[in-house]
Amino acid sequence: MDIYQEVARIIARNDTAALCVIVQASGSTPRNAGTKMLVFPDGKFIGTVGGGELEQRVITAALDSMQDGLPAIIPYTMADPERGDPGVCGGQLEVYVEPILPQPQVVVIGAGHVGREVASLAHWLGFSVVISDDRAELLKDDDLAALGEVHHCEMQALAELVNLHRQSYLILTTRNVDVDVAGMPALLASQAGFIGVIGSRRRWETTRKQLLEAGIAPEVLEKVHSPVGLELEAETPKEIAVSIMAQIIMLRNGGDGSTMAR
């Protein structure tokens, strides 16, 4: 199987993998520079960088890169296993590991005033957008369909309809606690990298208490950000959307929300 053809298929399917390439090799090494291996999230792979302990370490590095989203160049010395080297060939090599990640998506649950503004801004910023609501009358606007996927469904059914992955940012702009309590367990069980809930701290405390009573583990609830958004003293739906998307951009790019230094 051609690795580049498989990479193209992964990108077309909006899936995840990591491409591993030997970018430098000197002395005696299992494979030469330019050798490639493609690793999938379940640890399976096509191609080989040489087998044995070296290959297992590269697979581990590939899985790590799919988790943190960061590329890496990793040097290996093939000389002395007793000091931790992955082989005894005597050479040295470097492997470049590049994660192939799905397009980042913003999933808005709740098509009210704020939800619509979040979806519109996310679309403008280049995110893939999904918007859903259990109220069909809020989804009839053709403008919503122009932003991305639209789903009329209960929140708990969304994870079965949409591929939620680590590049998924879920924004709950829902109407009340009951909706959140019924729908959040399915979202918490997904691979979504971020779940933000609009509303006051008191509302989230009420929701959290009921979710704990329903058997959701406290550590699972730690992935929820509520109230979602940076503190901008935002008031209008558009301003609230800016605060929410600002938080997503900050987390995505490793910012800290402080005033720019230059």
* pLDDT tens, the chain, 262 aa long: 689 999 999 998 889 999 999 988 877 777 788 889 999 999 999 998 877 778 888 899 999 999 888 899 988 776 545 554 445 565 788 889 999 999 899 999 999 999 999 999 999 999 999 999 999 999 988 789 999 999 999 999 999 999 899 899 999 999 999 999 999 999 999 989 899 999 889 999 999 999 999 999 999 999 899 999 999 999 999 999 999 999 999 998 888 888 876 6
The angle that helices 113-124 and 237-253 make with each other, rounded to 10 degrees, is 50
One domain for residues 188 and 82: no
Mean predicted lDDT score pLDDT of the chain: 89
213 in any annotated domain: yes
Per-residue pLDDT, 79: 54
One domain for residues 71 and 187: no
One domain for residues 167 and 193: yes
29-38: b or e for each residue (b if 16 or more CB lie within 10 Å)? bbbeeebbbb
One domain for residues 207 and 78: no
Q: Give percent above pLDDT 70 in the chain.
A: 94
Q: What is the pLDDT of residues 91-150, one digit of tens each?
A: 788 889 999 999 899 999 999 999 999 999 999 999 999 999 999 999 988 789 999 999
Q: Are 165 and 192 in contact (CB under 8 A)?
A: yes
Per-residue pLDDT, 48: 86
End of a domain among 100, 123, 143? 100
Provide CB contacts within 8 A for 131, sequence distance 6+: 107, 108, 109, 111, 115, 116, 119, 139, 144, 147, 148, 149, 150, 151
One domain for residues 116 and 93: no
Give the full edge-to-edge strand order of the sheet including 17-26.
45-47, 36-39, 17-26, 92-100, 72-77
One domain for residues 128 and 191: yes
One domain for residues 219 and 187: yes
134 in any annotated domain: yes
Provide CB contacts within 8 A for 191, sequence distance 6+: 164, 165, 166, 168
81 in any annotated domain: yes
Per-residue pLDDT, 1: 61
Per-residue pLDDT, 84: 43
The parent domain of residue 55 ranges over 3-100
One domain for residues 199 and 75: no
- The CA-atom distances, in angstroms, between 182 and each of 69, 87, 177, 226, 227 are 31, 53, 9, 17, 19
Per-residue pLDDT, 85: 44
259 in any annotated domain: no
236: domain CATH number? 3.40.50.720
Residue 151 pairs in a beta bridge with 132
Distance CA 249, CA 244 (A): 9
Q: What is the pTM of this model?
A: 0.81
262 in any annotated domain: no
One domain for residues 115 and 238: yes
Instruction: Quote the number of domains for the chain.
Output: 2
Per-residue pLDDT, 254: 84
Amino acid, single-letter form, for residue 138? L
258 in any annotated domain: no
End of a domain among 70, 100, 130? 100
71 in any annotated domain: yes
47 in any annotated domain: yes
End of a domain among 100, 131, 166? 100
